[in-house]
Amino acid sequence: MSVLLLVLLLGLSTFHLGLLVWSICKHLLTTDVPSALKHPLKFRIMHCMFIYAVTLGIILEKLSICPMPSFACFLQDIFFLKKKDPKVVVTDLRFGTISVRLFEPKAMSCSSRAGIVFYHGGAGMVGSLDSYHNVCLSLALETNSVLLSVGYRKLPYYHYPIVTTDCLNATIHFLKRLKSYGVDPSRVVVCGDSIGGGVAIQIIQTLLSHKDLPRIRAQVLIYPITQLTNFQLPSSQQNRNIPFLTEELLMMCVCRYMAIDISWKDAILKGAFLPPETWEKCRNWLSSDNIPERFKNKYQEPQFPGPFNEAAYFETKHILDVQNAPILADDEIIAQLPEAFLVSCEHDILRDDTLLYKKCLEDQGVPVRWYHVEDGFHGCLFLFGQKFLLFPCSEKILNAVVSYIKAL
């Protein structure tokens, strides 16, 4: 028995060592680390561990032991430390089937506070109330606001459009009860990063038709996903191999959340699923012509979209829904949106989504403030409050968001 146990332990050790070596080799052979990035060695070590965790999750999934997204969420909630602050009351609640977390400053206030509704990132696959706890705690405390963080349902059991549906329902529930939370109805901000930023845009557009609810004061969007149509923009080419959102991972997340077979990823990347007439309608918003020249360093204009593939269109056409591309909403809708604070990161494959949305808003006369982080990368806000994992860009983004909300 002891011999069998020894052999098992030796086998597991060898397996994990081999997986670690493979992760390091993959990182070194396929990853670009920007020269402007602070703490490049820490960045490399973190990405090696990220590859290791994702690969192990995929192996466990193939062995029918545990879905990869569930494994990834399990690891993040173990390793991410939640701060406590006696100046903020934190309450876990449920709005029907939706888990939410409420952050309320304890200090007495002579008037109603501002309200923030926060939708976390994670591609509908990872991210949670716990992993974004420190971000939300600091936002509530530093802006003296009541903050609602929405723990929407996600992969592997829930697909498109559940993230938007859950966030919308939780937001409506909150807006109907603002007075009970001591929130000024004229000072409610919606905020989100990555997929959460895209969801925030969708929700604001939807709420325009809810005349019985308070009007949203501002939209705060941190490297948001604003479209899933053009993946050949300058940032898509320049940053396709930069952690933590590489082109490979982005396509896996898109296909999983949209319930599309991964075999169609090349058609999505090349735009082969786009009917020519559809591209003609949306190119004014999604063309690389809308990206400022200073962001086109080494950009090679591709033939986009690629030759039309009708089979790909029928398998992936829900990508073209306005719900998945809020930037394509009618001009009349865009013109009614509240002022925006947009954050983009230079080393982000989705950087140009923010730039396209910025131009879209400005063209319709919507006030926009834009904050660009030269040493930033996709997902860096996620690391805020994690002492050994923190990067300067994480603090820059949070401080900029706090300053903007306090000035409203």
> Catalytic residue at 16?
no
> Catalytic residue at 378?
yes
Instruction: Name the DSSP letter for residue 178.
Output: G
Catalytic residue among 194, 288, 344, 394: 194
Catalytic residue among 27, 70, 128, 348: 348
Residues linked to residue 22 through DSSP beta bridges, in sequence order: none
361 sits in which H/E element: helix 351-363
Token readout for 205 is 């557009």
- CA dist 392 and 321 (Å) reads 37
Q: Tell me, rounded to whole angstroms, the distance of Cα 86 from its chain centroid.
A: 29
> Catalytic residue at 194?
yes
Which pairs with CB-CB distance under 8 Å and at least 24 residues apart come from 84-89?
Answer: 85/137, 85/141, 87/141, 88/137, 88/140, 88/141
Q: How far apart, in Å, are the Cα atoms of 307 and each of 229, 278, 299, 303?
A: 15, 13, 21, 9
For the chain, the first-to-last Cα distance in angstroms comes to 68
Catalytic residue among 120, 133, 347, 378: 378
Token readout for 109 is 């206030």
Do residues 198 and 192 lie in contact, with contact meaning Cβ atoms separated by under 8 Å?
yes
Catalytic residues: 194, 348, 378
